[in-house]
Amino acid sequence: MTTFEAFVLTRDDSGEQRLDWTSVADSDLMDGDVTVEVSHSTLNYKDGLALTGASPVVRRWPMIPGIDFAGTVSSSSRDDISPGDAVVLNGWGAGETHLGGYAQRARVPGEWLVPLPEAFTAAQSMAIGTAGYTAALCVLALERLGVTPGAGPVLVTGATGGVGSVAVALLAAAGHEVLASTGKAGEAPYLKDLGAVVVLDRAELSEKGRPLGKERWAGAVDTVGSHTLANVLAGTCYGGTVAACGLAQGMDLPASVAPFILRGVTLAGVDSVMAPMPARREAWDRLARDLPPGMLDAITDTRPLTDAPALAGDILAGSMRGRVVFTVA
């Protein structure tokens, strides 16, 4: 019987969660028509929730966590995917309802896999990960709804995080004037290196504000939610769009209808987990076109996968900058 090493989450009868680095048999893998030898994974906010048990994102037990992975196909029963192909997976319930990427091996439906773009190595694709791919979906959503370079500044909240960092870089590469909001004043040089023109203190946006404020930005990528998203909407210019993809501050939205009915503001929800394949390919094409690999290296901390539990609390606390890439031994 073939085995491989993986992190496995289990839960006892009292609901207590446990995480172990252990051997798993191939026969324990779930249904799928493609098996991948995983070389790299990464740490997203949802991974932090799963590893710590801070939120019930895991809905199947036992579970191998990890919502992202990159690797090489070892076996496939599909005509469009062959052994030796380099592939990337983001979302689709991996690490939640389907065994995920914190393992040396994964078996998944082939329709979940995106070919690794030629512009990136496997490690760089995980420096992007769900966070960066989500950022690309947000940028594409803004542009489809009329937020183009020259329309006015674009705000990014939670700008030093994974989604925020990539969003700043993508927007700047496309010619937007980028405003970056962060609670880390010392990271202003980092954000300006990514392309931000102005760095705002997140305190300007994180408390209860007015239903409608001064028009300040034509669009925004919000990773934070709650009062921050409400204030972002209140400061959006007439006809502008806010792409919302996160809830670091909270799931609530203590806002009014004023931005929508007095300024025609659009709130565009962006989901990356179940996004259809055409949207995924468009997002990865955009990343390959506009995201400099050198920038990825500058925002990436490379660690062994076994470091994941020690870093989970950091991403939930918002104390991490950029992206973490895990090498899978």
H or E element that contains 203:
helix 203-206
CA nearest 32: which of 98, 95, 103, 126? 98
Residue-range domains of the chain with CATH? 3-116+299-327 (3.90.180.10), 130-269 (3.40.50.720)
What does each of the 329 residues of the chain score in pLDDT, given as a tens digit?
599 999 999 999 888 999 999 999 999 999 999 999 999 999 999 999 999 999 899 999 999 999 999 999 999 999 999 999 999 999 999 999 999 999 999 999 999 999 999 999 999 999 999 999 999 999 999 999 999 999 999 999 999 988 999 999 999 999 999 999 999 889 999 999 999 999 999 999 999 999 999 999 999 999 999 999 999 999 999 999 999 999 999 999 999 999 999 999 999 999 999 999 999 999 999 999 998 878 888 889 999 999 999 999 999 988 888 899 999 97
pTM comes to 0.91
Positive or negative, the Cα torsion across 280, 260, 170, 304? negative
Residues 162 and 323 sit within 8 Å (Cβ to Cβ): yes
Pairing of strands 34-42, 300-304: unpaired
Contact yes or no for 58/96 (Cβ under 8 A): yes
CB atoms within 10 A of CB 301: 15
Instruction: Characterise 62 by phi-psi region: left (phi > 0), alpha (psi -120 to 50), beta (else).
Output: beta
Instruction: Give bridge partners of residue 37 from the DSSP assignment.
Output: 72, 105
